[in-house]
Structure 1
Amino acid sequence: MQMPLLIAADWLLVVCAEQLAYWLRRDGLPIAVPTFHIPDVYLYLIVPAIFLVFLHESRMKFRAFPLWKMTQAVFHAVLWSVLAIIMLMYFGHVAQVVSRLFVAMTGVFAFLFLIAGRTALAALLDRYHLFEVPVLLVGGGDEADALLSTLAAHGGCGMHCIGLVTDARVPQKAAARCAVLGHLADLERVIGETGIQNVLVTASGADSDEQVRLVRRIQPLVENVVLVPDLAGLPVANSEIEGILEGRHIFLRFRNNLARRKNLVFKRLFDIVLCLLGAPLVLPVCLAIALAIKHDDGGPVFFAHRRVGQGGKEFPCYKFRTMVTDGDRILADYLAAHPEARKDWENDFKLKDDPRVTKIGAFLRKTSLDELPQVWNVLKGDMSLVGPRPIIRAEIPKYGEHFADFCLVPPGITGMWQVNGRSDTTYEGRVRMDSWYVRNWSVWIDLACLVRTFAVVLRREGAY
């Protein structure tokens, strides 16, 4: 039932994109062409069918894939669809006035609508646990607990764990999320009684022979067996799996995208183009904020803080001033009077109720508008739109071996930690997210982070 629903949703989203592009080309733009016409059979049937073919040829499980992966897949599907439509329109003489602008707008709108629509549909299905695939989890220990935690945090990703079969210790959280149905000796009985057809094997701590024996026992009894290896810390987002010869061995290839100069150049061009395109929207907002800060207390509008950037070099990180001008003295007095706050400051270099923050500053921080001047840092090359969190030199020891990852790219205005809890995450969690981003970088991750940043800022999650 899930697949027909997704196909129907994709058809509707593509038709909406076509209609918007059609209206703009005929009536909505200054260069509109009132005589432009495409038969309904192409608008409602043939063109959407082309999109559906390319969207579903890979049979991507859209609920289990991260946003950046779905963005990549949809982009490629839309690109191939647009190329196919251009060939159809030119060689089939479909349109009375062939319009490249119409085709381009259809592609852009389809890409945006499909990303937003699929994300919303996945969130809706996950929230109400609709059309979930029942799975049996085989294995235990920390890996099973981590997997169940991940599924719980993302609404199940289209999966519903009916139970756990293990000989290992079952952590309390895992036991609360998934009932223990038996030991490994009971595996065949449990599969037979439940009628389960999808099994996840988390063989953390098991040697290769044990894993092979488990998969061999399960495979004849079910439709799908998925082995979940413990690869925590490895850059799996840029990995490829390859078989060799008769398949006795597999190769896991991990790419370092940021070791390729062309990718660094592309990331830089990506930043510059988006900053210039967004300038007409950002500049009026910056002017209004500057006037509000000046009116509030008459102090300076901007604040430049020394931060560590690419290669470990310091640079002035620009922000709208959100604190009083004598903030250092106020902070020292506050920490001396509140020992519990000193502990928070030493751990995270942040205070939830910072006494230095002005009234307008509290609003700017909550909405993240205080970071808009960092667009200038991006244009200068000190920062990127997406990247690790810019840190001060005193934070370097907390990064440990991950500091080498941090130094590979410019820090970002937004990044993985900002779209995954922001200030509500632990410091260790932020470090791991920064390291993950650098080791797994792709343009699709950057796009996904930018999209999710807008959603997080609008909901005002975890900012202070």
Structure 2
Amino acid sequence: MEADGKHCKCEFSRLNYISTKLLPIVIFAVEYIAVLIAEKLSLIIQHNLPGMNGQFYISDLYFYGIIPLVFIFFLYYTKVNERFILYWETLQRTFYAVLYSEIFCVVLLYLFKTSNYVSRAYVVIFFAMAFICLCISRQLLIKTCRRLNLMKEAVVFIGAGKTTQKIIDFTRNNNCFGINVAGLFDETPKIKDITEKYHIFRDLEETKDYIQRYKIRTVIIAVPSMEKERLLNLIEDLQPIVRNLMFVPNIVGMPVFNLEVKRLYENNMVLLGIKNNLAKKTNRRIKRVFDIVFSLATMVIILPVSIIVMIGIMIESPGASPIFKHYRVGKGGKLFPCYKFRSMVPNAQEKLKAYLQKNPEAQQEWQANFKLKNDPRITKIGKFIRKTSIDELPQFINVLKGEMSWVGPRPIIKDEVHYYGKNIQDYYSVLPGITGMWQVNGRSETSYDERVKLDVWYIRNWSVWIDIVLLIKTFKIVICKKGAY
């Protein structure tokens, strides 16, 4: 319920309730059409490849029936359409759903000989087309539903604190099917943003009647600090009358991306497992292979841009080397020469020292972040290459040498080690990165404490998918020139 002066109005309506009921049917129809389009496009592309001569075909039963249904099953099995899911995690689940579906369909086509032969070209093309069509169709559906304010699940929250606010923000800031706050119950609400926007019911005893009266299907208990006995009583009261009952356990701050749940059914107990992926040699090797392949693949772009930048630097700063090395702390605490394009005047240190002595405010800014927003040492071309992060391109040499990774914690200098405190061992355990969590979350605008938290989160939650996502986000941020100076 949303507060409107002294009056309250329900955010959820009968129309929204009906549309939510229809959501599975709508999703089924959209996914079915997306798979058909992918099949058709793949056939067109495959038939136009040199030497194919349109030999490959699929029977109508498989084309219009079995193949789309197999894909829809695996999309359901991998839970692609969950409401509380990151957009990038949706892409990952879609990828695996398409992979499983393709393998299953190829086996069916081969075993039952429903085609004259299984075209390897078609399999590869269809994989790409299916992934693209499903991702695009899902985003179009979500954007349409958000614009029309449809398909939102009515949710009752127990707790009106920071946890509730974070959950609401999550559903609004990610490309997933949204929620409507149908009710907030809290005896002692403390968050001003929530109390000003929503009507808060202060009597928890009303919760059960309210849920049954408005036929609420989803309830979230967002009070991590709630006493165990009270939580159990709430669960016992509410579970029989709702379809989805969720609660936030008291593990806020722990690395949850790689969290595994082990169910000990006989003892009515769960074990929470936290994996450290980068502790495994196999994963470190995969990350290293990824770094090398990505470096070699991007050299086509990096080398021409680097040559142009070096010429510009040599023209603006005659006699100065266009590339300089600055020693940073690497894996295991060892120092290594971190390469960058020169973006400062040759006598940078002397100029910085004189500037900080004359400007106490700049001295405080430097001590806090080891950066200056208006740095007097930076050249004209230096401002451009820093704003676009082109100054960091030579670090691909560090990547090939095994001193850095494309994605990782921000490479720090010795004077910054003490800021990490006990988390410095996390930093020492991996290679620093050209980009990372700090780069896609504000870059120079983030505080130092936030940088440390972001670095530690990345190290403890690493996956190949996270690296891919961060590289894509970095490219987007660099294009927008956001947060760098």
- TM, length-normalised to structure 2: 0.85
Matched letter for residue 475 of structure 2: F
Say whether 1:269 aligns with 2:289. yes
Say whether 1:56 aligns with 2:83. no
- In the alignment, which of 132, 139, 156 is matched to residue 136 of structure 1? 156
- 1:135-174 aligned within 5 A: 135-151=155-171, 153-154=173-174, 158-174=178-194
- Secondary structure of the residue aligned to 1:447 is helix
Greater CA drift, 321-330 or 6-15 = 6-15
Say whether 1:242 aligns with 2:262. yes
CA distance 1:117–1:356, change in 2 (3 Å): farther
- In the alignment, which of 437, 457, 460 is matched to residue 481 of structure 2? 460
Contact residue 140 and residue 204 of structure 1 kept, 8 A: no
Q: Percent identical across equivalent pairs?
A: 37
2:382 is matched with 361
Q: Distance in 1 between matches of 2:387 and 2:340?
A: 14
1:347 is matched with 368
CA distance 1:401–1:87, change in 2 (3 Å): same
- 1:73-84 aligned within 5 A: 73-84=93-104
Contact residue 181 and residue 190 of structure 1 kept, 8 A: no
Q: 1:321, CA displacement in angstroms?
A: 1.8
- In the alignment, which of 189, 196, 199 is matched to residue 219 of structure 2? 199
- Secondary structure of the residue aligned to 1:61 is coil
Q: 1:177, CA displacement in angstroms?
A: 4.5
Matched letter for residue 319 of structure 1: K
User: Which runs of no fewer than 5 residues in structure 1 stay unpaired?
Assistant: none
Contact residue 233 and residue 436 of structure 1 kept, 8 A: no
1:72 is matched with 92
Deviation string 1:54-111 (CA, Å, 9 cap, x unpaired) is: 2222333355222443233222212212223333444455555643133123323433
- 1:11-30 aligned within 5 A: 11=32, 13-14=34-35, 17-18=38-39, 21-27=42-48
Matched letter for residue 231 of structure 1: I
1:291 is matched with 311
- Secondary structure of the residue aligned to 2:257 is helix
Q: 1:145, CA displacement in angstroms?
A: 4.2
- Secondary structure of the residue aligned to 1:232 is coil
CA distance 1:388–1:144, change in 2 (3 Å): same
Matched letter for residue 52 of structure 1: I
- Secondary structure of the residue aligned to 1:417 is helix
Q: 1:319, CA displacement in angstroms?
A: 1.7
Contact residue 87 and residue 176 of structure 2 kept, 8 A: no
Contact residue 139 and residue 175 of structure 2 kept, 8 A: no
Q: Distance in 2 between matches of 1:44 and 1:385?
A: 43
Deviation string 1:130-156 (CA, Å, 9 cap, x unpaired) is: 422121110244433444454454478
Structure having the higher Rg: 2
- Secondary structure of the residue aligned to 1:233 is coil
Say whether 1:422 aligns with 2:449. no
2:358 is matched with 337
2:349 is matched with 328
- 1:382-461 aligned within 5 A: 382-461=403-482
- 1:247-266 aligned within 5 A: 248-266=268-286
Q: 1:259, CA displacement in angstroms?
A: 1.9
Q: Distance in 1 between matches of 2:178 and 2:285?
A: 38
Contact residue 257 and residue 440 of structure 1 kept, 8 A: yes
Say whether 1:318 aligns with 2:339. yes
User: Which runs of no fewer than 5 residues in structure 2 stay unpaired?
Assistant: 1-21
CA distance 1:390–1:217, change in 2 (3 Å): same
Q: 1:322, CA displacement in angstroms?
A: 1.9
CA distance 1:116–1:409, change in 2 (3 Å): farther
Q: 1:227, CA displacement in angstroms?
A: 0.6
2:15 is matched with none
CA distance 1:131–1:247, change in 2 (3 Å): farther
- Secondary structure of the residue aligned to 1:316 is strand
Contact residue 71 and residue 448 of structure 1 kept, 8 A: no
